Structure 1
């Protein structure tokens, strides 16, 4: 049997795999990427499309997010991929929410240097067409966030890799096993100096012992989407409310967060129990994406809870007003998550093989920057 030779094999066609294929190709490698499904169907297309730098852990992870944002914009400029630099608004309706935002801005110089600032309620209403003025007492504006449409972006990046760098992108090709430097696939045997396993939610097939010891669990989420908004209506900045301040690592060190957490646990116990925080983004064709909830376990049932969906949409109505709020799509997603504070899992199970996983819900935000760091090791 003939054996194919390349410099780098990437396993997995989600955003993590695509990002590592790009990083390898930019180093001059001959790259082949294998994805078992005929097209992307996992977490990489089931998200908001938010490149959400402002929510990431301060320091190196924030810088990684900014680097990823730059790469998204580079790809957009070369391909016409829709990547809107909308920025984001964190809306405060209670004093404890405002206190967290004010503390974050006051104590986070890198964000301030990039334009993150507190604005008045009136200014927030002017910036965001969906912002509900009633009850709003202030907001945080961040200009660094970029909105992509994940269902378009993932295949567009795959096409860009093939056309710009000659990456051999093989969807519908399963990897049966790895014994470095050989990769056995349904498209034959391949040899490579570097093998990158970016298998996402399927982390039990290749190197199961690595994942058994990794601490990874699966996070199940629920999301919703409206139809196209009327008359070309545009959301503008992506939006979130007070619950989001309890979800993202950027705010964990804020001393004011404890009081907010205590109040939310008392007033919104269902939301806290089900990991609900509410974000709003828009797709390229004008639909609005709403979510989400978070449940962590090794295995999840496949069913969506309408009670969770109702909790999400009710909370959204408290800070946003949509021209046409009718829901046309509902779905669940599932992604690997590390619950101990690590932002990624990077392991070398044998010489020449690197496993990259566990980026959680920040894959769109962090993967391009992470891939450059992994390839530079």
Structure 2
């Protein structure tokens, strides 16, 4: 096996894999290293939606580009990408006002969207309870994915079709520049060198640079998600986002009326736990429901625990039952996901002219990594 590459990427999640993909497309030799048998972090524990509509600023631009990349990849290999759109369903007059303002914004910049009346919502999404929708904003270009399966297939595509050398069960224990090259060492003492190294392994970079990690200011978010039994009779197309999402996502926060939003009493406890209700139907007909958010400094991530709170799960189930009419309480599994984030949008740290850490993208990874990593690779090569 060769030991010298143009680029080594540490971390086989969506962020690391897209960096490897874009470098390989530029005919660079790439080694992608994943510490586990298969990525098990934020990449495969997320909701499985690509929704630029929820982002603002440069991240919206990266998200739009990522949509193009996903569609191009899907035309070459099945990555589970389904273009069924995203809908944000407003549940009261305040949310509906903000949704209308966001619609005006996206019409101005030419991002496809449409407003749906209450009647259209109930016709298009017949599993909604009659009393929930006031109206909705719909984004037809956005996509749904099944994240674990997408990563399996994306990694396989990169390894077989783009020339990326992929090694799993390959934990990096040292990374340094020496003799004009960047060198990484694995637990089995195997060594590789490259012109450049990108470290995209979430808050696990603490293993390599503990002092930098201690000063990083990274925060870890713990999410809880639920998955129902399969409902073959339900045809839930696309990403179904609700009023709580309108109250949370950054794209809505740029709207004029957002600052005057008040929290109704029945949503106070949900807001306390960072809950906003989303629905997505998996390939087997089950419905993924989520999610909640608890936070801790990355140095104190163990404070969040790895347990699941039945109380939080029940809050989500109760709110979901207020929105949809199918038996959402028929849960077959639930899990916790963890992702790192920072107040500076993303954590980028240049160790030297050959080694760079990129992490802390927060909940934007599945939506924005494609466009963001393309820009990063262009700046390197």
TM score, norm. by length of structure 1: 0.93
CA distance in 2, matches of 1:281, 1:159: 25
Partner of 1:44: 43
1:140 corresponds, among 137, 140, 145, to 137
Per-residue Cα deviation, 1:220-259 (whole angstroms, up to 9, x for no partner): 110000122124x320131121111222110112232233
Partner of 2:206: 204
Partner of 1:287: 286
CA distance in 2, matches of 1:182, 1:366: 29
The 5-angstrom pairing of residues 76-155 of structure 1 reads 76-109=74-107, 113-155=110-152
Per-residue Cα deviation, 1:247-282 (whole angstroms, up to 9, x for no partner): 21101122322333x224x43221111111111112
Residue 40 to residue 309, structure 1, CA distance change in 2 (3 Å): same
Per-residue Cα deviation, 1:3-34 (whole angstroms, up to 9, x for no partner): 81111100001111111111111111111111
The 5-angstrom pairing of residues 1-377 of structure 1 reads 4-57=3-56, 59-109=57-107, 113-180=110-177, 181-186=182-187, 188-231=190-233, 233-260=234-261, 262-264=262-264, 266-298=265-297, 299=301, 300-322=304-326, 325-338=329-342, 340=343, 342-377=344-379
Per-residue Cα deviation, 1:121-160 (whole angstroms, up to 9, x for no partner): 1112222243333242211111132001011001111001
CA distance in 2, matches of 1:201, 1:311: 29
**CA positional deviation for 1:35:** 0.7
**CA positional deviation for 1:67:** 0.8
SS in structure 1 at match of 2:255:
coil
SS in structure 2 at match of 1:154:
helix
TM score, norm. by length of structure 2: 0.92
Which range moves more in the overlay, 199-208 or 160-169? Answer: 199-208
Residue 135 to residue 155, structure 1, CA distance change in 2 (3 Å): closer
**CA positional deviation for 1:323:** 6.0
- Whether the 8 Å CA contact 2:347–2:359 is kept in 1: the answer is yes
How many matched pairs? 369
Over aligned residues, Cα RMSD in angstroms?
1.7
SS in structure 2 at match of 1:364:
helix
SS in structure 2 at match of 1:119:
strand
- Whether the 8 Å CA contact 2:106–2:112 is kept in 1: the answer is no
SS in structure 1 at match of 2:102:
helix
Unaligned 5+ runs, structure 1: none
CA distance in 2, matches of 1:136, 1:16: 35
